Amino acid sequence: MSAAIFAGIAGFAGSVSAQEEVQPEEVAEVEVVEFGDAYGAFISDPSAAFFTISNLWLLLAAALVFTMHLGFATLESGLTQSKNTVNVLFKNVFIITMGILTYAFWGFNSMYPGDFNGFFAPGSWFDVSASMEYMSSEYADYTWYTDFIFQAMFAATAATIVSGAVAERVKLPSFMIFATLLVTFAYPVTGSWQWGGGWLAERGFYDFAGSSLVHGFGGFAALGCVIILGARRGKYVDGKIKPIVGHSMPLATIGVFLLFLGWFGFNGGSVLNADPYLVSLVFVTTALAAAGGAMGAIFLSWVLLRKPDLSMALNGVLAGLVGITAGADSISPALSIVTGLIAGALVVVSIIFFDKIKIDDPVGAISVHGVCGIFGTLAVAFFSEAAPFGIQAIGTLSICAFAFVVSIILFGLLKVTIGVRVSEEEEAEGLDIGEHGQEAYAIKPS
């Protein structure tokens, strides 16, 4: 048994060292085999061994991305008032569960339609029979089931970004309708432009793990909603900005560290196999950019605000992560630090700017995901040779503009029909009581 296992490991090592020489079209399609035969294939066929390990890594990466939703839930609840905690948590529970189901019923096939028409393709329940087979030789490193669950973890993120930006004053039913439509129909459209082989992919646009396709999309969808929704009451009074402080910085900090952890799956899984060089490179660039983002935000906010601000530091970490996401596999480790530093500084300036123009975003989601999503996409052109500036600019602006326009239309229709904002009394009392009839804390935090 030991000899067999050793032979399997040796075979895998040999396959890894030859990865750069093997082109996708040269990889033979792996036939479906029974479980008993799979063990024999694993120890005798290096390509089968690499397939198995790659498939497992992508499943683990999907689980890491899932933890990001816990991170979003704790970050958003920590940065908002205690009287709205249940509401924030409820929205996050709804988003991930709704997102998985709608991505299964529509989004997956809509985003990856195969015979693509260039702009939009309808979707349906994913092909169960295809799910029982290995991927074709063009994508030989994971199963259809694995591909679905990994991509489904991404899909709900766009609506989660919106959730934080509209927190503390949005009607729950209106948000649920909006989030469902956004994730089900709008997100797969822009996703298909690039990851589905659409017009951006054909023109050489590059977005490795979604600085624009996930984060920019969510950030500018949030901007559209916030413009229609308006600011929280008491935020801007007599031309002055009144801070509405979050109730738990420990929760917010835990949320950012959970997001940091999950991002290793978000970016590392986007390699789409277990190539040891690429996965390790992506882990390093992801970590360095996050650290650079924190430093950029800490020191610039200290200069501008005269005090070291924890919320800015936390958003700086996320800004660095969003900034490197488009080029995590193509930007060098040294330049990933620069990418993070710029993103961290940019998020501070952006948050201050949106406050000055009375765009009320309780968690800084528009700045972190929208503004830094655009920058991260352009950073691919600035700091690597993966794509030229022109197509990067066209791609990120097209994706963000589409999300913004769709958001304005959908949320605007909801406003004139069922309304999107709670009453003044409910906002003052808190959405936990008004929308849910329950409180998050039996004893009020001081």
CA angle 400, 184, 104 (to 5 degrees): 130
Q: Are residues 85 and 37 located together in one domain of the fold?
A: no
What pLDDT is attached to residue 10?
40
8 Å CB contact between 236 and 242: yes
Do 328 and 207 belong together in one domain? yes
The answer on pLDDT for 268 being more than 70 is yes
pLDDT in tens, 244-266: 999 999 999 999 999 999 999 99
Residues 24 and 63 in one domain: no
SS3 state of residue 439: coil
Rounded to an integer, the average pLDDT of 119-139 is 55
Question: Domain for residue 51, yes or no?
Answer: no
Both 33 and 62 in one domain: the answer is no
Q: Are residues 169 and 301 in the same domain?
A: yes
What is the Cα–Cα distance from 69 to 331, expressed in whole angstroms?
27
In a domain, 442, yes or no: no
Residues 30 and 111 in one domain: no
Q: Residue 444: its pLDDT value, please?
A: 64
Q: What pLDDT, in 10s, does the model give residues 197-235?
A: 889 999 999 999 999 999 999 999 999 999 999 999 999
Residue 117: what pLDDT? Answer: 53
Specify the pTM.
0.87
pLDDT digits (tens, 9 = 90+) for 142-188: 888 888 899 999 998 888 999 999 999 999 999 999 999 999 999 99
Cβ-Cβ contacts under 8 Å for 392 (sequence gap 6 or more):
205, 206, 377, 378, 380, 381
Cα separations in angstroms, 49 against 9, 14, 37? 8, 10, 13
Is 445 domain-assigned? no
Cα–Cα distances (Å) from 105 to 58, 166, 271, in that order, read 22, 27, 26
The verdict on 287 and 338 lying in the same domain is yes
Are residues 152 and 131 both part of a single domain? yes
- DSSP per residue over 388-407, as a string? -HHHHHHHHHHHHHHHHHHH
- Distance separating alpha carbons of residues 18 and 44, to the nearest angstrom: 17
| Residue 4 confidence (pLDDT) | 43
- Mean pLDDT across 115-143: 58
CA atoms within 13 A on the CB side of 129: 0
Co-location of 13 and 112 in the same domain = no
Residue 436 CB neighbour total at 10 angstroms? 16
Read off φ and ψ for residue 237, nearest 5 degrees.
-130, 125
Determine the structural domain holding residue 30 and report its residue range: 2-46
Query: Which is it for the CA torsion 92, 65, 247, 164, positive or negative?
Result: negative
Instruction: Tell which wins on pLDDT, 240 or 407.
Output: 407
Instruction: State the burial class of residue 122 (Cβ atoms within 10 Å of its Cβ: 0-12, 13-18, 19+).
Output: exposed
Question: Which CATH number do you get for residue 91?
Answer: 1.10.3430.10
pLDDT at 111: 87
- Note whether residue 138 is domain-resident: yes
- Span 63-79, pLDDT tens digits: 999 999 999 999 999 99
Let me know whether 119 and 15 are in one domain.
no
Structurally, the chain folds into a number of domains equal to 2
